[in-house]
Amino acid sequence: MDFALTPGQKELQERTRRFINEKIIPYEKDPRATSHGPTEELRRELVALAREAGLLTPHASVEMGGLGLSHIDKAIVFEEAGYSTLGPTAMNIHAPDEGNIHLMEMVATHEQKERWLRPQVQGLTRSCFAMTEPDPGAGADPSMMLTTAVRDGDEYVINGTKWFITGAEGASYVIIMAKMEDGSATMFLSDMDRAGIKVVRQMDAMDSCFTGGHCVMEFTNVRIPATDVLGEIGRGFKYAQVRLAPARLTHCMRWLGQARRAHDIATAYASKREAFKRVLAKHEGVGFMLADNDMDIQTSRLHILHTAWILDQGHSGNFESSRAKVTCSEAEWRVVDRCVQILGGQGVTGETIVMRIFMDMRAFRIYDGPSEVHRWSMARKIVDAAENRQ
């Protein structure tokens, strides 16, 4: 593996960095960045800036209007975008849209792409992914899914409740995961204004970075034409992995940018703030935290690049993406936690953006599978491989 950036990658990195610093960071105190995420008005304003800069939806294929980035290219660009809490929104690379765009490119028919995907790549619409359910339904264990889809002629009738559905408020379309009569799962596409689909409420959450927030949704006798099945009947769990393996990694990329931002702020503060007749950075307690931050940031970046390389080779990367998700989510969280400690009172107030990053990032250890589930899954695969070698 060669970790040196190509001239094209360096240019894209610098262009993204300038765009975030000059155009997006000034918006971070905009009142339209609400506790339930940026408003649609703010999102469209930010998207227009990315469109003008030629950086909108860069991960989408060239055919769809993106830049056709490889996974390694995404690692470079997404980290730079994540340096601002609004960067991923501006560039149309935030969850759940980023993962949905990838899934649609891989699985959707030509007609489905033209109807739902192309406007999304253009930044005109948003989407949501409805899989998680309240107890006793599907959470970390998707096999517990209670939402059902029953065939009725040329349609499927869907009933169930979903929650923590990111971006549902204001989304144009939804990908619904439902269980079939034989116990398998299928994905369905639907416009959000279809009869029987209801956004019940927005949930109050620690994070405030996703447009549309996190919502509870109800599906009551929702009739979906057979033509709007995404992919093949009964392959929903397989497609979920097609979506989630790269999506876990792009979470790591974006949050790495946030961790680096917090570290830069804490370093600058520790280099000028004095206590006990010397700047904080020269006290070992603080200096060691800065050193640990550097190690965690670099470890995360190497895990991301290694996993991105595996995905670029055409491998599923499920094991590697689980490993990267746990390693990066916990390392990047440690970085931000240390930054709050270094900043002291500044770290627990809105005087810097570090408090906001701290609140947003804590959920990263839960999104797309909590660390404990990934460790359990990895352990099973490690043991299975060992038994097969015997």
In this structure, which amino acid lies at residue 203? M
Residue 171 Cα distances to 123, 128, 193, 327, angstroms: 12, 6, 10, 32
Give dist(CA 260, CA 256) in Å, integer. 6
Q: What is the pTM of this model?
A: 0.95
CA 128 to chain centroid, in Å, comes to 12
pLDDT score, position 245? 87
More confident residue, 288 or 244: 288
| pLDDT computed for residue 344 by the predictor | 97
Q: Which amino acid would we find at residue 119?
A: P
DSSP type of residue 236: H
Q: Looking at residue 390, what is its pLDDT?
A: 81
- Output the pLDDT for position 1: 66
Helix (H, G, I), strand (E, B), or coil: what is residue 162?
A: strand
Q: What is the mean pLDDT of residues 286-311?
A: 97
The tokens for 167 are: 């971006």
User: Options 3.30.420.40, 3.40.640.10, 2.70.98.60, 1.10.540.10; which CATH number does 7-94 get?
Assistant: 1.10.540.10
Q: pLDDT exceeding 70 applies to what percent of the chain?
A: 100
Of 308, 312, 326, nearest in space to 377 by CA: 326
Question: In the prediction, which pLDDT does 248 show?
Answer: 93
In the numeric block, the tokens 């979906």 are attached to 224
**CA–CA gap between residue 107 and residue 130 (Å, rounded):** 17
For β-strands 274-275 and 278-279, DSSP reports them as antiparallel
Indicate if the pLDDT at residue 337 is higher than 70: yes
Q: What is the mean pLDDT of residues 143-153?
A: 97
Q: What 3-state DSSP class applies to 342? A: helix
Q: Where are the domains of the chain?
A: 7-94, 127-232, 237-389
Predicted confidence band of residue 244 (pLDDT cuts 50, 70, 90): confident
CA-CA distance, 390 to 334, in Å (whole number)? Answer: 39
Are 7-94 and 237-389 the same fold in CATH? Answer: no
Phi/psi-derived region of residue 2, left when phi > 0, alpha when psi is between -120 and 50, beta in every other case: beta
Residue 341 pLDDT level (bands cut at 50, 70, 90): very high
In contact, 233 and 180? CB cutoff 8 Å: yes
Q: Where are the alpha helices (DSSP H) in the chain?
A: 7-19, 40-53, 71-81, 87-90, 97-107, 110-112, 118-121, 236-270, 284-312, 318-343, 354-361, 371-389
Which tokens go with 244? 């989630």
> Mean pLDDT, to the nearest integer, of 329-358?
97
Q: What are 310-333's pLDDT values in tens digits?
A: 999 999 899 999 999 999 999 999
Mean pLDDT value of segment 65-73: 97
Which whole-number Å values give the CA distances from 132 to 96, 107, 112, 150, in the listed order? Answer: 13, 21, 23, 19
- 237-389: CATH architecture: Up-down Bundle (1.20)
Q: Token pair of 336, please?
A: 């931000």
Tens of pLDDT along 20-29?
999 999 999 9
- pLDDT above 90 (res 2): no
pLDDT digits (tens, 9 = 90+) for 173-208: 999 999 999 999 999 999 999 999 999 999 999 999
Q: Is 211 left (phi over 0), alpha (psi -120 to 50) or beta?
A: beta
Residue 363 CA to residue 204 CA, distance in Å, equals: 13
Superfamily of domain 127-232: Butyryl-CoA Dehydrogenase, subunit A, domain 2 (2.40.110.10)
Would the CA dihedral through 256, 366, 247, 46 be positive or negative? negative
